[in-house]
Structure 1
Amino acid sequence: MTLYQFNSLSPKEKEIAMINGEFLADRREESDTIALYAVCNFYVEAYYDNALNAVTMLAAFRSTDRLGPYLQHIRVPTF
């Protein structure tokens, strides 16, 4: 699946594709928890409103520039 194909899916289909991807990290922003997934050759952020108990937005992107906020949350194994 390409980023363009993902963006053309319905909201429910996007959620299914995201969940079938690989969870990478999450972060907090105000009242939202934002989860980062790798799906095929792009990333998807799922904005989850904790007060509403619902996903309010999915944002797909390829640029690694947007990964900065997650770097402090990724656990790197030590050997």
Structure 2
Amino acid sequence: MSSDEFNKLGYHKKTEAVLTGTFLADRLTDHFYVKLYNLDNFYIEVFFDDRSHLIVKFRAFEHTLFVLPYLEEVKIAV
């Protein structure tokens, strides 16, 4: 599956697809709790409303630029 194919899926099919992916990281924004997954050759962000805890949006992408907000949480021991 590609990110374009994922974006064309309905809500329930997107949810099913995400569950087959690999969880990578999460982050908190002003209004959303966002989880990052890897599926095939692309990434998916799942946006949860911070009050209702319901999924309000999916964002699938291939460019690693959108992964940068998650790198702040990565701790590397030297």
Q: Say if 1:72 and 1:31 are closer, same or farther in 2 by CA, change over 3 A.
A: same
CA contact (8 A) 1:24 1:74 kept: no
- Tell whether the 8 Å contact from 1:26 to 1:36 is kept in structure 2 after alignment: yes
Note if 1:54 corresponds to 2:64: no
| Aligned-partner Cα distance in 2 for 1:51–1:3 | 28
Q: Do residues 67 (structure 1) and 67 (structure 2) align? A: yes
Q: TM-score, normalised by structure 1?
A: 0.88
Residue 15 of structure 1 is matched in structure 2 by: 15
Q: What stretches of structure 1 of length at least 5 have no aligned partner?
A: none
Pairwise CA RMSD = 1.5
Separation in 2, partners of 1:21, 1:37: 6
Residue of structure 2 in register with 1:41 after alignment: 41
Tell me the percent identity. 32
In the aligned structure 2, how far is the partner of 1:20 from the partner of 1:56?
19
Cα deviations across residues 32-54 of structure 1 (Å, max 9, x unaligned)? Answer: 11100001100000000120220
Alignment: residue pair count? 78
- Secondary structure at 2:72 match in 1: helix
User: Unaligned stretches of 5+ in structure 2?
Assistant: none
TM-superposed deviation, 1:31: 2.6
Runs of 4+ aligned structure 1 residues displaced above 3 Å come to none
